[in-house]
Amino acid sequence: MRRQQRPYSCGIDAAIDVIGGKWKVLILWALHTGEQRFGDLKRLVPGISEKMLIQQLRELEADAIVHREVYHQVPPKVEYSLTELGVSLNRSLEPLGAWGAEHMDHIVAVREIEANGESLDPSGR
């Protein structure tokens, strides 16, 4: 299930290829505190289906962002954690999270205006 390698036009292009989509960044953030079991990740990433969580974890593992540790015991135990590469990626996402937190009220207001069929003036007001 490995994705095709492709040439990148810049670093942002390469990074977006790794974290693209709705769920990967949320999974990475859920892992920032340390190892998590699958069920814990499912709870920490509200709205994600089991199938999608499995798929996204496999892709992150294939990109060496997430490590999957299988403990051979009864009942079986699997834990997910960030690799060093994953930790550095998460650090790079911290400013984006800060920007989102700082502008969250504005983002919500804009989305509500759009949902009501209204539009903003060109200056964003």
Phi, psi values for residue 91, rounded to 5°? -60, -40
The CATH class for the domain spanning 11-116 reads: mainly alpha
What would the two tokens of residue 50 be?
A: 């089991």
Stated as kind and residue range, the H or E segment containing 69 is strand 66-71
For the purposes of burial, counting CB atoms within 10 Å of the CB of 95, is it exposed (0-12), middle (13-18) or buried (19 or more)? exposed
What pLDDT tens digit does each residue of the chain (125 aa) get?
445 667 889 999 999 999 998 999 999 999 999 999 999 999 999 999 999 999 999 999 999 999 999 999 998 899 999 999 999 999 999 999 999 999 999 999 999 988 888 876 656 55
The model's pTM is 0.81
